[in-house]
Homo-oligomer: A and B are copies of this chain.
Amino acid sequence: MSVTQVIRNVRPMGGPAQDVLLDEQARIAERVPAGTAPATLPTLLDGQGQLLLPALVESHVHFDKTLWNTPWRTNSAGPTRWHRITNEHGVLKNLEVPMAQRAGPLIEHCIASGSLYFRSHVDTQTVWGLQHVQDMLALRAHYAALIDLQLVAFPQGGLLTAPDTTQLMEQALELGLDVVGGIDPAGIDKDPIRHLETVFAFAVQYGRGVDIHLHDLGELGRWETERIADMTEVHGLQGRVVISHAYALGAFPPAELEPLADRLAALRISIMTCGPANVTVPPVAMLRTHGVNVCSGSDGIRDAWSPMGNGDMLERAMLLALRFGWSKDEDLLAAFDIVSHGGARALGLTGYGVDVGCAANLLVLPAENVAAAVIDRSLSRTVISRGRIVARDGVFLRN
């Protein structure tokens, strides 16, 4: 494989300054001490001693819901999750701006923030039919040269309780959605076992992974977590299941959850948490100590649920650290791991990282080290996708 270009003078993960040589397939071919790469090799970027990180992984987002790139809208959602679900129908139906003009600019903003890997849940329910699915598939095609975008068939309004949803889910999977979604098998669908059986049957039938929104709290949510583990084991879906939010796991003393953590680790079930500050959250440190993979995401970004969010996964790492009171370097590195390698593991990515052989999907920014990058969140970010500079200083480059 021939070397075609070089990123000069960057510090991979805060280590010594190196030149990073890329091959013609935009992979990292070699890393050599800074200043020793051939001067004749075309320079993709002179990093001037900046930090080199892998591009960030946005493991849980709802691009199809966003109001990004539209005028400010006063939030009109009611107090319960069900109110927010139904309120959203009206908000999105009354929008004149098509999804491509909302989610597209948001994707570009996320790219400019340093994320190049995404898992977006796509509303797959009667109210939209297959419209969200088709719009997001079109956006995926549009950005296919820049990002890896996994799409989850997501039964926002319930899988069993809403008419036609199971058929829509099947159609979405046939159209190419990557992951079978689920939501609160008890709290929303009111029939947890049949919900999970349906989700896992789709996963087996279509050869897909599973990603279940689990907001149910306390004992109920813990019980559902155990049932998801059962199903994962029964259907041989080890390493292909994500439980998103899992608020319930924050309701117990961590030590009490250790056997469950060991089981999740053995089944390679990932836990996705955004680290919300106003609800209980999974005990991330304990989970990671027990070998459970943890990833993170923005969840909704400026949508009918909340105006919050900006898709910055470095900010997300900082918010995770704040949520858990982390201040040690090793904890800040854990926060970074969650928004990078943890996401890569949850999404089953290959060739992820800054090692030789990895794809040249990279983030370069000024920071002394990885911990400082999480704290500082410099916006002077250069983003490299597949060996090409696609964003500088927070601006997506339309090249």
Contacts and interface: CB of A to CB of B under 8 A. Distances in A.
A328 interface: yes
Chain A, interface residues (CB within 8 Å), range: 20 to 34
Contact of A75 (B75, B279, B324, B329): B329
B278 A322 contact: yes
A307 B332 contact: yes
A11 to B, nearest CB: 13
Interface in A268-318: 275-279, 302, 305-308, 310, 318
Nearest to A322: B277
The secondary structure that dominates the A interface is loop
A278 B77 contact: no
B375 A327 contact: no
Contacts of A323: 277-278
A188 to B, nearest CB: 19
B325 A322 contact: no
A305 B279 CA distance: 25
Contact of A77 (B277, B302, B327, B329): B327
Given A71-B368, A279-B325, A310-B376, 20 more contacts: A72-B369, A72-B371, A74-B328, A77-B327, A276-B322, A276-B325, A277-B277, A277-B319, A277-B325, A278-B323, A302-B375, A307-B332, A307-B372, A307-B375, A308-B318, A308-B321, A308-B322, A308-B327, A310-B375, A319-B322
